[in-house]
A = this chain, B = another copy of it.
């Protein structure tokens, strides 16, 4: 377990970075490793929230599905992110793997038990939850007030930010999600996503060597677009 943690992609996550190697080993001695395949669900919104997960590898969507089929993706979950850190009876979102996923899982009770000996843990967990709330509010603003192209520009900068630490510091990255996922994240249709990509491409802001390989040619320009700065 100790070795696995040293190599874990989540090694520098908000939680782990607060502890030294020995403490991490101790924390992870309570953890179970979980694997789920592409398209499978790590958890469902109606499940009782007894587990907390820390994503080690892969990418997930955090989503909610309406009875009529409409879907809203709340967030994309990357290695190092925590899932299920809520104190309520149920997760209120489902988590689906976009690519094969490995994660560490704790019993909520175990984790809460550790709070007494490691009070920093509880504080960190609260910090993580606060961060999630702030990001969700960013997203609220996007869905409430931005148009299609602004949303895509925002999305690309956001993904760039999130994946930079995995993909290295190049200007290109590979999108792990489909256009449908992007549409369901940004509250638009696939066609609108596609048209916005094409628009940004034809105007020279991005390059698409393949549909899912994006190169940001003009970050500053994208930022102006996403912030609605007419220039």
Say yes or no: A66 contacts B141, CB within 8 Å. Answer: yes
**Is A68 on the interface with B (CB-CB < 8 A)?**
yes
Chain B nearest CB, measured from A159 CB (Å): 18
Residue of A93, A127, A132, A133 with highest tally of chain B CB at under 10 A: A133
Which A162-214 residues sit within 8 Å CB-CB of chain B?
184, 186-187
Assess whether A134 is interfacial by the CB under 8 Å rule: yes
Q: Judging by beta carbons under 8 Å apart, are A145 and B228 in contact?
A: no
Question: How far in angstroms is the closest Cβ of chain B from A15?
Answer: 13
State whether A134 touches B228 (Cβ < 8 A).
no
In contact, A228 and B139 (Cβ under 8 angstroms): no
Closest to A129 in B: B129
Task: Please give, as numbers and ranges, the residues of chain B lying within 8 Å of A143 by CB-CB distance.
Answer: 140, 143-144, 187
Q: Answer whether residue A64 sits at the interface, using C-beta atoms and an 8 A cutoff.
A: yes
Considering only CB atoms and an 8 Å cut-off, how many residues of chain A contact the other chain?
Answer: 38
Closest Cβ–Cβ distance, residue A48 to chain B (whole Å): 14
- Name the prevailing secondary structure of the A interface residues: helix
Do the beta carbons of B145 and A72 come within 8 Å of each other?
yes
Give the residue of B64, B93, B134, B228 whose beta carbon is less than 8 angstroms from that of A92: B134
A113 within 8 A of B: no
Q: A134 and B72: CB pair below 8 A?
A: no
Contact with B along A135-165 (1 / 0, CB 8 A): 0110111011100000000000000000000
Per the bound structure, the CA–CA distance linking A92 and B136 in Å amounts to 11
